[in-house]
Amino acid sequence: PSETGRVLSIQSHTVQGYVGNKSAVFPLQLLGYDVDPINSVQFSNHTGYPSFKGQVLNGQQLWDLIEGLEANDLLYYTHLLTGYIGSVSFLNTVLDVVSKLRSINPKLTYVCDPVLGDEGKLYVPQELVTVYRERVVPIASMLTPNQFEAELLTGLRIQSEEDGREACNSIHAAGPSKVVITSINVDGNLLLIGSHLKEKGNPPKQFKIAIPKIPAYFTGTGDLMTALLLGWSNKHPDNLEKAAELAVSSLQALLQRTLDDYKSAGHDPKSSSLEIRLIQSQDDIRSPQITFKAEIY
Ligand code: ATP
Ligand code: PLP
Ligand code: MG
Ligand code: NA
Ligand code: MG
């Protein structure tokens, strides 16, 4: 399958390193997509470093770019992809962008990574949670929360894979037909839970992929994961488990390469967060070997 499209990707830009658009644009291009990045921030480096400097785009500045595209009939997109968003005003403008894009292409797929926090810690202002829950989730086509985000958006506690499946059901009821909880922690290992509601009224098709946890902390992986899920799920629209197998297999090959490179350079991979070896992993992105299999429930 070679189905591609044109993706508007509203995410962070870092001058050095790979998070946000820096970790999403290149892989989508490798998979054959035209990708138009809007940089929601431009920072020197990601916020995990001791310091960073740069600029933040506000909602009006985002809208200016949309108006510029519209004035030249350039607003036709097949996909919108959003990740980390730092303020309610910017998120409200993103909602306007979704409406505008859907007025031009009613079939627009909106892939939303509802970045709120991780491992029990919120890293956006609290008031964003309500806006995501009440206004963003209902209009998203595919949602890729982590465990903590799925809990915040559903109000459910997720401690088991059963809980993860229930959370997916609850998210389907709110709107998105595709949900991937990118990682839940079960007994020290990672579990991805995917769910595709093919027809309303029928049970969704659900699956899991077990992922051994690598003892290191990576950044940019969540953003890369969502980009890969967009890329592959569009090529396999009726087979979310296949899309997830491809995405996880690419990502894990990249993480292994990242780990090996740091180790052979004499670094302790547990001492700081690792910059992913994205460019070096282009073959694993373009044509992944499926090394991680989905188990269908
Ligand atoms: P979000 O983008 O909302 O933060 P997330 O918390 O799931 O989502 P990450 O924690 O970056 O994002 O994980 C994304 C994917 O990266 C996971 O599904 C997993 O496949 C992989 N991953 C990240 N860290 C590790 C690790 N230490 N060992 C193995 N896989 C990992
Ligand atoms: N965007 C910016 C500016 C960041 O600093 C970070 C992480 O530090 C991220 C996004 C998130 O990256 P991840 O994909 O690991 O969730
Ligand atoms: Mg995480
Ligand atoms: Na995620
Ligand atoms: Mg993230």
pLDDT by residue (tens digit) across 268-285? 878 778 899 999 999 999
Q: Each residue of 40-53: pLDDT tens digit?
A: 999 999 988 999 99
Is the minimum distance from the CB of 219 to ligand 2 under 6 angstroms?
yes
Cα-to-centroid distance, 211 and ligand 1 (Å): 10
- Ion ligand 5: residues, CB within 5 A, are 222
Using CA atoms, how far residue 246 sits from 76, 144, 200, 223, 267, in Å, is: 28, 16, 26, 16, 29
Atom of ligand 2 nearest to the CA of 218: 15
Q: What is the pTM of this model?
A: 0.97
Cα-to-centroid distance, 32 and ligand 1 (Å): 24
Instruction: Name the percent of the chain lying above pLDDT 70.
Output: 99
DSSP per residue over 276-294, as a string? P--GGGHHHHHS----S--
Q: Each residue of 182-216: pLDDT tens digit?
A: 999 998 899 999 999 999 889 999 999 999 999 99
Q: Which of 134-138, 174-178, 263-267, 276-280 has the lowest mean pLDDT?
A: 263-267
Tokens standing for 295?
């188990």
Using CA atoms, how far residue 151 sits from 1, 83, 110, in Å, is: 35, 18, 21
State the SS3 of 38-66.
EEEEEECCCCCCCCCCEEECCHHHHHHHH
Which of 9, 11, 12, 273 most suits a substitution to test ligand 2, by most atoms within 8 Å of the C-beta?
12
Cα-to-centroid distance, 3 and ligand 5 (Å): 27
Cα-to-centroid distance, 20 and ligand 2 (Å): 6
What is the arithmetic mean of pLDDT over 247-259?
Answer: 97
Reference 225, options 196, 194, 198, 204; nearest CA is 194
Reference 110, options 68, 138, 152, 133; nearest CA is 138
Is residue 283 annotated as part of the catalytic site, yes or no?
Answer: no
Tokens standing for 92?
């409200």
Residue with the two structure tokens 């809980």: 163
DSSP per residue over 198-254, as a string? -STTSPPEEEEEEEPPPSS-EESHHHHHHHHHHHHHHHSTT-HHHHHHHHHHHHHHH
Atom of ligand 2 nearest to the CA of 41: 3
Q: Each residue of 106-131: pLDDT tens digit?
A: 999 999 999 999 999 998 999 999 99
Is the minimum distance from the CB of 43 to ligand 2 under 6 angstroms?
yes
Catalytic-labelled residue, pool 113, 223, 238, 284: 223
Q: Give 246's pLDDT tier (boundaries 50, 70, 90).
A: very high
Atom of ligand 1 nearest to the CA of 113: 3
